Amino acid sequence: MCWLALLLIRITETTYQGTWPSLRRELDRIALGAPSPAPPGPSASAPSSPRAQRDILAQLRIEPPPRIYQLTTETP
């Protein structure tokens, strides 16, 4: 698994032409939180991504996260 992780890191670095620490630092800023005031029903929202994050995701051909998530709870 370590070899596979290193391979994925290297592919990411060469595709984006940046270092792994800088990519990771920028993508770690993606967050999820509950909106205030909260709409009816369980939901969470992600803030709009800064341009740097959108550029990284576009170059890596990764779909950006949706702005609103509808959370469901399971009933036993």
Closest CA to 29 of 70, 65, 74: 65
Global pTM?
0.57
Tell whether omega for the bond before 37 is within 30 degrees of 0, i.e. cis: yes
pLDDT recorded at residue 46 = 57
Distances (CA, A) of 59 to 4, 16, 27, 62: 21, 6, 13, 8
User: Per residue of the chain (76 residues), what is the pLDDT tens digit?
Assistant: 899 999 989 998 998 888 999 988 888 887 766 656 555 555 555 555 688 888 888 888 888 877 766 666 666 6
